[in-house]
Each structure stands twice: as structure tokens, then as C-alpha cells.
Structure 1
Amino acid sequence: MSAAVDALVIGAGAAGLFCAAQAGQRGLKVLLVDHAPKLAEKIRISGGGRCNFTNREAGPANYLSENPHFCRSALARYPASEFIALVQRHGIAFHEKHKGQLFCDHSAQDIIELLLHECAAGGVERWQPCAVHEVQPTEAGWTARTDRGEVLARRVVIATGGLPVPKIGASDWGLRLAERLGHRLVAPREALVPLTFDTAHWAPFVPLAGIARPVAISTAVPGKGKRSNTVSFLEDLLFTHRGLSGPAVLQISSFWRPGQTIEIDLLPGTDLFETLQQLKRQSRRQLGNELAALLTQRLADTWLALQGIAADTPMPQVPDATLRRLADSLQHWTLTPSGTEGWAKAEVMAGGVDTRDLSSQTMESRLHPGLYFIGEVVDVTGWLGGYNFQWAWASAVACAEAMAAAA
């Protein structure tokens, strides 16, 4: 079998499906190919099965990249409000959960069905499962060798995603293709991923697994020259058997680098030393009981033991110096992760195809006309909370518009 198309889109995830649909609806003959046996599994499992499909507040400040301005054009031309309007046209019920994060009321399958309907409206042909073995430029465009035969395409779109969750088919295929064709890569790394600690260091905290609480979390990020900046988030933290997770940790993990420290305030918005001094004046209860009211009993007991402070000391008898030390330890908890839970638990990939080799207006390669990279395979990574889906939609539209304009 062989096929000749205007656009071959490789990868049927969020970016690939939406780009294929948008290109097809603009009059292009589109073939969408994916090697995975199941369609859009990453969409299906996202947001706890309800798909956090965008964020109302999505903007350039919510993305990481070696070139932080690269995402600006696509996001401005296809903002979150556009995709929200599409969701509403399809009659999908949704709700805002937290800080602009929008989730389906029913299921992530609603978003998959939306994308399939949009592809059908564009007359998109889909081969799946179907592996692509080779992609080569030709005088007339591109040729691709697949499980179902050769494809001749005027343009090729790489929407193969990143490395997270390999059990559902994630691979480095798109990165290897980009590199083989001369594109620079920003080293891929896990992002939005739980952080781990060496066993000996973490042993005292293992009994805290399952405890969640709001925290302020921060780490240093490289600035220009020798300067560094601090990035901070106010979110929930979750203790695990191997380390820390929860939204706060997932957010900071995208910025953290091996060997760096993170700092956590377990009682954000509180002057803990002042609070403890007030309790010292007003309460005759034991320190452990008063701290448990602020932290939970398990966390308070563990913390006091680690600090070598007797939990049964009546509040009036606790020296101010001890209260100061306790407050500082809880509000400036500094620790160095040993690593992350890896690609199996990462939600997205940071790094990818270097944006210096791509047009921010069109997503087209500067090295090979007619070749485009969109979505997660590009060095643009969003925060937790629907931002990565919005980049998928926006980069897909930028690419589809450019291909249609060039047809």
C-alpha cells in the first residue's frame, strides 16, 4: 500500500490529533499515523481520568524553555478561551478545580471524542497501530516508510510526545529523528515528577506516608551570568514512602536539577515563632499537643523527635531559643533530593527539540522546509494544571495554519 498526502502527522496524541483535525478542516489531505495500539492513552489517564484540558490563565510565564519567549506567538494566537469555546460547542460539561484548571465533569474520553469528531470533520485518515520506520526528505517533499507501506507527503509533522509513561508507548522516536536530521536537542529530563531521597535520609519520614498539607516550596534556578533566581509555588505536598509528591513537588521538580536543594515551608502564611510564643503565654498544654494542632499528630511527633525536642514539655517551660529553632526548621526545611521517580511517574518531559531550530510562528524546522515539530517533543514545558495541553492545542493550530497557508 502507498499513499500521497498533503500532510503526514506522526503521533496521535493531543497535539497530533488536533493538528490533523485543524489541517484537514483547512482543506489539506491529512494522514495521521501512530504506533500505539490504543488511541490517546495519555489523554485518557490525565487528570485522574478527567483530563485537565487547559488552564484559563495559560500564558508564557507558565512555561519552561531554553527560549522562554518561543511559546508566546502560538499561545497568543490560540489562547485557552478558544479551546474552551470548542469544548462548549461539543456540549462537554466541565468545571474549574483550582487556579484556572479545567477538568471534564465526566471523563477524559469526552476530549478524545471531541478530537475524533474534529478529525472526521476534516476528513483525516488514520493508520493505527502503524509504526513509521524512516522519514526522508525528497525533491517533492517527504517520503515515509511505514508498516502499511510508503507515504509520500508534501509536509511532515512530528507530534510524538515525550518519554514519560513508557508502558503506554512513549519513546524517543521523534527526538532521534530530529537529531538525525541535524536539529539540536535540549537534554530531555523528567518533569512534573515526584522527588526521591536516599533510604537512610528518608527513613524517619517513611511513617508519614500519606500525609498531605499545603506548603510553600522553592528552589534556585539559573539566571543570567552568575546570578540565580528563586522559583516558588504554594500548593499541596504529599509524603510518600520514597520521598515527596503532590502538586507542590511536581511543580518544583520541573525546575530542580540533581544536586540542588529545595526549601519547604510547612506552615506558609504563618509566623510560627510568634504563634508558638503566644501559645507559650496562653497555654499550659504540652508542646507536642500544640504542634499537633498545627501539623497533625504524626508529623508533629516525628518532627520533634528529629529536632531532639521533648514533646511532653509544657509550653511555659519551652525556652524561646528552642521555639525559634523549631519554627526555623519547619518553615525553612532544606533538603537535597537524590533523584526522581523517573519516566514511569513523570507527567511530562522537559527539554526536547531546540527551539533555535524552529520557527515560533509556524513550528517549521529552520533546517528542513516542510518539517514541523509540535507539542511535547519541543523544548516547551508547562506547569502542572492544564498548561501542557494548552501548548499542544496552540502549537498544533500554529502548525496547521502555516501548512494551509503554504499549500
Structure 2
Amino acid sequence: MPATAPRPDHVAFALRVHELLTASGAGDGPGFVWSPYSVACALGLVAAGAHGRTRSELTALLGADLDGLLAALDEAVAGGPELASRTALWVRDDVPVEPGFESRVRARPDSDLRAADFRGDPEGVRAEINSDVAKTTRGMISDLLTPGSVTADVLSILVNALWVKMRWTEPFNPGRTRDLPFHAPSGTRRAALMHRVERLAHARTGDWRMVSLPGRDGLVLDVLLPPEAGSRSTLDAGTLTALYRDARDTSVALALPRFDVTHHQELTDVLDSAGVRTVFTDAADLSAISPVPLKVDSVVHQARLRVDEKGAEGAAATAVMMMRAAGAMPPPPVPFVVDRPFLVLLRRRDAILFLGTVNDPKDPGPAGD
């Protein structure tokens, strides 16, 4: 596999969630897009603050090498002049954050902790978060959190936002763009297809085909064609790995539609289908985030991607809303009925002061002074 191909664990995560999003109905419309980067950043930080089954369910989806994944995600957005990634942990002022977790958050690109008055002004906090996301995404996403979605019960919201602008190394000639038939699932219609003839990385594995369009600053847009027009065949990790492995520079006569796709979805059900369940329950263990018992109430995601003759521009944001988890029910008391002869031992520091056996207790009467 080429060195520039995504990590295998990230590929598996992305394809698994994409399959579940498609099955949830996201794939029924004209198209949808989401950001494996943004979702993995947010969930990866939550996993870093989790223990026990809460953590194991998240790493089963994200991959066991959590530190390696987060480092790779950071590297993916490092150094590009038209790349922006921001992570903010919005926290109620009476909710302490563990120092180790605060350090993890602050180590992310353009990241910080922000005080949030969830109890007094939840709508104001929502507006602040949306404004922060809009600033990072250059206005492409301005309504991540809808009215009423932030309530006085929220203790913390972890938000990741991503923006990227990709410019083709060789732009398409707008003069060659023309309307041609496009065979959509709902029927054939006309679409504006851009054209170019160029040597591009191309691969064929089974009935899947891929062409990779290079952009500046190391960005690449892969376009994958399923086995037949209108097919919704599932792309598996083995096929994608083989496509990257087999890609060779080939003279390609490319005709690619201009497009602009967007999607906004609450991901709780999708993550539940992927096996991430405990974090949404009172059994959640997020004790590495805060000593206050927390659980995730919802995960909200929005993304947009548009492609034209000059390049591509994308934006995404993910918000993980955390509430107070009900304290774990204490175990029932262990019966200890002293109704037969017993021993007693009174000690202090390193010495046993008294040791006795009581076979038939003599009642000394009520306690005095």
C-alpha cells in the first residue's frame, strides 16, 4: 500500500460507519457526506478519557492504537495553508477536568477549554459554539447545534471542526464542462460533467475502479466507481486496500460531475449499531475526563463537500454532548449477623491492643460518658 494511503484501522472505521450511515437512510437521497477525520477526533478523545468497557467498545470501532490514530489525525492537518482543525471542550464551571485529559485536549491543533454557562444560558452557549464552528469552517457550517439541542442539563460539549480547501494541481477547463446524462438511482438526468485528459493514478480491483486526482499540499481526491451504474455495492477494506496498492499512473479521460453534498445527523443510533453502547448509559466510565460521573447524551455531526473546476472545499464538525450519569447503584449490603461466639481485636498502628473471645456477651448497659 502506498505510504500516502490512510491507516488500515482508520479505513476500517470509515467504511464501517459509512455502511451504517447508508443503512440508516442517509444514502437514500441525492447524496451525503461525513468526515471520518472529525468523528474519529471527537470519539478518539472521548475514548482517551474512558476506562473499562466504555473504552474497549470505542477502540473496537476506532482501532486499538488510539495514540497512533490521534497522532496520525494531527499529522493529516499539519502544515497545510488551507487546512484548519479546531477542538474545543466547553465545560460548566463547576465541573473539574482531569489534568491529563486537559493536556490531551490542549495538545490538539488549535484547541482549548472554554467555560460554558449551560445552566444559566444554554442557548447562548449554543450560539457561541455554532459561531466558533462557523469561524473554523469559513462559514460552510453555521448551524451544527439546532435550537433547543443544548439544555441546562449539559455538563460538557466536546467539539471538533475541520475545514479544507483543495486546489487541483491542474484545474479543469470550465470551457469543457457540459451537460451529459447521469444515471441516478431515480432515473437518468442531465448533469454538468467536467472533463480532462491526464495521467492519473488509476486502479481496478474486481469490478471496482478508482482514479485519484492530486491537489496541492499533498491533498488527493479519490473517485471510486462501483461495479455498475446505480449500484450500492458495499466497499470493503480489502477492496480499498487493493485499489491503493494497485494504483498506477495511466492516461485517463476523466468526466467528473461538479457537486455539492451536505449532511447533518445525530450519530447515536449509528454508533450503537457499531457496538458503541456503554458510553451512552449510566454505566459509562469517563473518569479520565472528570471525577464527575459523565455519560454521552448525543453525538451530532455535520459535513459539506463541494467540487468544481478549481478544486474541492470541505467542512465538518462533530459535537459530543455529555451529561451527568446517575451514580452507580451501590451493591446490597453484605449480611454480617454476630449471633454466635466471636473474636474481637482492637489495634492501633503496629500493635494489637486487645484480643478477646466472646462466647456469651454480657450486656454492659447503655453507653455512658
Larger radius of gyration: 2
TM-score class normalised by the smaller sequence: under 0.3
* Higher relative contact order (CA closer than 8 Å, sequence separation 6+): 1
More helix by share: 1
Relative to its length, the structure with more strand (as a share) is: 2
